[in-house]
Amino acid sequence: MDARTEERTWTVGELAGDLGITTRTLRFYEAEGLITPARAGSNRVYGPREHARMRLILRGRRFGMTLAECREIVDMYTGAESSEQRQLTTLLARLDAIAEDLERRRADLDRTLTEVTDVADQCRNRLTELGLEE
């Protein structure tokens, strides 16, 4: 038996379940050309490559990356050291930009929360002054 025969494979339902997504999601990424499962008759057969690509794509999407950005990252991977270095450099640059954006959003949320709390305190104080406590 060769090594390829021993590789783990998944059906569409198995891979969806393993990744915690719907089969429709897998079909979407296939239609977008991000994954290319093998076929056994009319059934899709997903191997380790598709599994790894889907994990990278889903992580990128959670981080706020676009499909194009996810495609750029996963398409760079070929196993060659130079490709891996380029992939990691590109990913790191995008992650740094995402972190900066999240920090800005957190600062905005903190400011807004402070304002909301201040206005709520003013409302409570005024209600107390009017003798209409909550």
In terms of residues, how long is the chain? 134
Residue 24, in any domain of the structure: yes
| Structural domain count of the chain | 1
Residue 101, in any domain of the structure: no
| pLDDT band at residue 73 using 50, 70 and 90 as cut-offs | confident
Residue 55, in any domain of the structure: yes
Residue 96, in any domain of the structure: no
What separation in angstroms does the CA of 36 have from each of 9, 39, 72, 77, 86?
Answer: 13, 9, 16, 15, 23
The C-alpha atoms of residue 132 and residue 62 are separated, in whole angstroms, by 46
Q: Residue 6's domain spans which residues? A: 1-65
The CATH number of the domain holding residue 5 is 1.10.1660.10
Q: What is the pLDDT of residues 15-47, one digit of tens each?
A: 999 999 999 999 999 999 999 999 989 899 999
Residue 44, in any domain of the structure: yes
The C-alpha atoms of residue 92 and residue 31 are separated, in whole angstroms, by 27
The pTM assigned to this predicted structure is 0.66
Residue 10, in any domain of the structure: yes
